[in-house]
Amino acid sequence: EMAQVCADSGADIVLMHMRGEPRTMQRDTSYEDLLGEVLEYLAARVKIAVQGGVSPTCITVDPGLGFGKAWVDNARIIAGLKHFRSLGVPVLVGASRKRFIGALTGQTQPSDRVFGSVGAALAATEAGADILRVHDVAATREALAVFLPCRHVESPL
C-alpha cells in the first residue's frame, strides 16, 4: 500500500536495501553474490513502486551501506555502484561516519571519521553515486570542489 500512498502524494522516495530489520540486520551479513542480491532486491522494489503508480522520476535507490553488510561489503558496494545505474534511477550513498569507515581507518568514534567519510564520498562519486548523504557537509563539499574538476582535466604530459 505504501507505493500507492507515495504515488498519490507525488512524493520522491528512496528505496533502500536492508537485510532484516535494524535489531537483527547484522546477524547474517553473508552473501553468495553481494552486488547481484542487492541489485535484485532494489530492482524488485523499483518495479513494485512503478506498478503502484510512482513515477520513475520520483525514485532513488540506496544500496544500504551498513545495513546487513560486513564492513568489506560496503567497500565492494561502493566499488560496484555502476551496476546500480542499470536501474535507471538515481543512486544515493550514505557512507558518512559509518562503522566500516572506522574499521578501515581505526577510528572508533564516529565524529573522528571525517577524513574517511570524505574519502568514501569521493570514491562513491567516482563510482557513479548521484546523491551523497553526509554529516560533514563543508568538508565534503570542499573536497568535491577540487575532485570533480580534476577528473576531467587532461594531463599536460
Q: Is 98 a catalytic residue?
A: yes
Distance CA 91, CA 32 (A): 23
Q: Is 133 a catalytic residue?
A: yes
The active-site residue out of 45, 97, 98, 113 is: 98
Return the residue matching grid coordinates 551501506.
Answer: 65
The active-site residue out of 45, 133, 141, 151 is: 133
User: Catalytic residue positions?
Assistant: 98, 133
